[in-house]
Amino acid sequence: MPDTLMLSIDAMGGDDAPDIVIRGVEYFLSHAGKNRKIRFLLHGDEAQIEALLAKAPLAKQRSEIIHTETVVAMDAKPSHALRRGKGTSMWNAIASIKTGQARIAVSAGNTGALMAISKLQLRMKEGVQRPAIAAIWPRPVGNAIVLDVGANIDCDETQLCEFAVLGEAYFRALYQKENPTVGLLNIGTEELKGNATVRATHERLNTLDFGLDYQGYVEGGDISVGDIDVIVTDGFTGNIALKTAEGTAKLVGGFVKEALAGNWLSRMLSSLNAVALLKMKKRMDPRNVNGGVFLGLNGIVVKSHGGTDHIGYANALNVAANLAESNFEAEIEKTLAALHDAELDLEMTAEI
């Protein structure tokens, strides 16, 4: 089947793997993947996976098991994963991209180890210094993309400009928007706000002419309620923002649940507004935006949250499939080339 898309899956990665992984594949195939020509390479313990596939007929029909006896522990250090990771389910899932067996890899395993193994095997795209993790961020209308959310603690202006290119191409591929808007996360929108790196990045993005719709600074509150499509920041700040948002969503969800389960009047009102409440619950559900993408590699790797359930894992698979079916990598290379041409022109102008 030449038109079939092959996804490489680290079946042993995640807090409740391989159970959640196989259930996620089954859920994906019964919903978003129902009418798509997609198959799966499942890397992991064959006996465990076979037993789970016996209860997942759709997944069993479309999967091939690549037996591996070892896994990367969820608490393993990246350096240890690089030394001892060869032959693990995570390593082999990434290797399948390198060998051409699969188009894209998905893992819910250790984030640091996954990034280190992916970078070692796939290498960086030409013109990219470091990879970035991009997260889907819900808004009142549609979603935004925020990057980096954890791959790089410290970044300079060159790397942040590259993140802007990677995020813009990702958003364009995922949501088919011709010219996404890009903003730079800062503590204020005034020109003099921010540290030296943020100000230098702002100046470069304003000066370089390579087709990016750069809108300037974005404040933290605008990530969720603003209208900027791609928000760029370093991994330290982005990860704190992400974890804060996840915690706030849980807090608000708990408040709502507590209020509706109060007295008899609250329970009666909640039953009368059941449809609206279910809609709100769905919009607040973090499973619907599960699936962070490692951008900048010679291959596509999607990181699922390690503690998600089968529905969240299925959403990560959907993100992977959507990217694999797009012209995402070609768009990245095209915009990266435009960025570096613009940088070269600026340097030549400065020398004259």
- Over residues 270-286, the pLDDT tens digits come to 565 555 555 655 666 66
Secondary structure letter of residue 287 according to DSSP: G
Same domain, 106 and 238: no
Q: How confident is the model at residue 1 (pLDDT cuts 50, 70, 90)?
A: very low
Same domain, 81 and 225: no
Same domain, 148 and 203: yes
pLDDT at 63 over 80: yes
In the predicted model, what is the mean pLDDT of residues 223-247? 89
Domain-embedded: residue 175? yes
Kindly state the tokens that stand for 259: 């209020």
Number of domains into which the chain is organized: 2
Domain-embedded: residue 334? no
Q: What's the CATH number where 186 sits?
A: 3.40.718.10
- Please work out, in degrees rounded to the nearest 5, the angle formed at the alpha carbon of residue 117 by the alpha carbons of 318 and 149: 60
- Domain limit, last residue, from 246, 280, 295: 295
Same domain, 51 and 166: no
Same domain, 184 and 289: yes
Q: Identify the pLDDT of residue 84.
A: 86
Same domain, 140 and 250: yes
Domain-embedded: residue 188? yes
Domain-embedded: residue 350? no
Same domain, 281 and 243: yes
Domain-embedded: residue 339? no
In the predicted model, what is the mean pLDDT of residues 78-99? 92
pLDDT at 2 over 60: no
Q: Identify the pLDDT of residue 279.
A: 62
- Predicted TM-score (pTM) of the model is 0.83
Nearest alpha carbon to residue 150 among 130, 134, 129 = 134
Domain-embedded: residue 335? no
Same domain, 68 and 185: no
Same domain, 173 and 284: yes
d(CA 162, CA 327): 18
Same domain, 149 and 284: yes
Same domain, 178 and 272: yes
Residue ranges making up the domain that contains 225: 129-295
Q: Identify the pLDDT of residue 45.
A: 95
Q: How confident is the model at residue 251 (pLDDT cuts 50, 70, 90)?
A: confident
Same domain, 238 and 303: no
Domain-embedded: residue 348? no
Nearest alpha carbon to residue 22 among 58, 47, 74, 59 = 59
d(CA 15, CA 241): 23
Least confident of 172-186, 189-203, 252-266: 252-266
165 Cβ contact list (under 8 Å, min separation 6): 212, 332, 335, 336, 339
Domain-embedded: residue 333? no
Q: What is the mean pLDDT of the chain?
A: 86
- Domain limit, last residue, from 295, 310, 340: 295
**Residue 171 corresponds to which amino acid?**
F
